[in-house]
Amino acid sequence: MTDYLNLPLDEKHLEPILARKNDIISCVEQVVAESKIQRVLRPFEEKLEQLRLAIRDCNLLNTQLREMSPLEHVFLGIGDVLRDANIPVDYGRKPDPESLPKPSVAEPAVKAPAHAPTSSQASVLPEDAQARPRAIIPLVQPDEFETIPKYMRGRMTNEELNEEPPTIAGQLFCEDVDVKQGMRERTKNLFRAAVPCLRHVKRIKEVRVKGKAYFMPY
C-alpha cells in the first residue's frame, strides 16, 4: 500500500549537501562580504527546510498507513464517492451487542410494552442514542453547533446537519452508483456544506493521499 510513498531521499542524504555548503562558504568568506553570503544563502535555507518538511510529512503518512487496518486500506481506494459527494466512510469496528438486530424486531407493535425497559433503564441512555443507536458518527449537539462559525453553516440548522437522507441512512457505500441514483440535488449541496461543519466539531477528519481528499470518522 505504501510503495508509492517510498522516497529515495532521507534526512541522512541532506548531510553531504550541508557539508558541501559549508565547504563553499569557507572558500569564499575571505573575499565575499558576510551580508552577501547570507543574502545568497537565504533562498537555499528556505528550499532546504521545505525539503525537510516534505520528508517528515511523507514519513508521518507512511506511519499512519502502516497503522491502518486492512479494511481501511481497501476503502482508501474508493475515491469517487468521497470526492463527488463528500460522504464520510465508517470503517469496520467490533459491533456493539446492543446495536445488533434482535429476533423480536418483527413482532407486532402491540407486544412492545411487555418487553419495554423500565423508566429507570430508559433514563440511562440519552434520548438521541435511543432514537438512532446505529449512527455512523455521534450527533452534533446544540452547544457544539453554536461553536461553528456562521459563515460555515450558513442557514443550515442543527437538525439538518444531523439529518441522514433516507436513501443512505446507516449504509456503508463502496460504489459510486450506490449513491448517485438516489441523491437529490439538495442532498448533494447539504453534504458540501456539512463537511466543514463536521470537521470543525471533530466528527470527521480529512486525510489527503495522492492529491485526493478522504474524510474519515475520528
The CATH number linked to 199 is 1.10.10.1890
The amino acid at residue 155 is: R
b (16+ CB within 10 A) / e for 23-36: eeeeeeeeeeeeee
Between CA 106 and CA 115 the distance in angstroms is 13
Give every residue of the chain whose pLDDT is below 50, as ranges: 1-4, 91, 106, 108, 112-114, 122-123, 125, 128-129, 132-133, 167-168, 171-179, 181-182
In a domain, 206, yes or no: yes
CB 201 within 8 A of CB 149: no
In a domain, 99, yes or no: no
- Identify whether residues 140 and 159 lie together within a single domain: yes
62-113 pLDDT, tens digit each: 777 777 766 666 666 566 556 666 665 554 555 555 555 555 554 545 554 4
- Identify whether residues 156 and 175 lie together within a single domain: no
DSSP classification of residue 201: T
Residue 169: strand, helix, or coil: coil
In a domain, 100, yes or no: no
In a domain, 90, yes or no: no
- Identify whether residues 190 and 206 lie together within a single domain: yes
Whole-number pLDDT of residue 143: 92
- Identify whether residues 159 and 183 lie together within a single domain: no
In a domain, 48, yes or no: yes
- Identify whether residues 146 and 201 lie together within a single domain: no
In a domain, 106, yes or no: no
In a domain, 174, yes or no: yes
In a domain, 74, yes or no: yes
H/E stretch holding 212 reads: strand 212-217
Domain count, the chain: 3
Whole-number pLDDT of residue 129: 47
- Identify whether residues 151 and 206 lie together within a single domain: no
Terminal CA-CA length for the chain: 22
- Identify whether residues 37 and 60 lie together within a single domain: yes
Whole-number pLDDT of residue 212: 67
Q: What is the grid cell recorded at 93?
A: 469496528
Between CA 134 and CA 140 the distance in angstroms is 15
Range of the domain at 54: 11-84
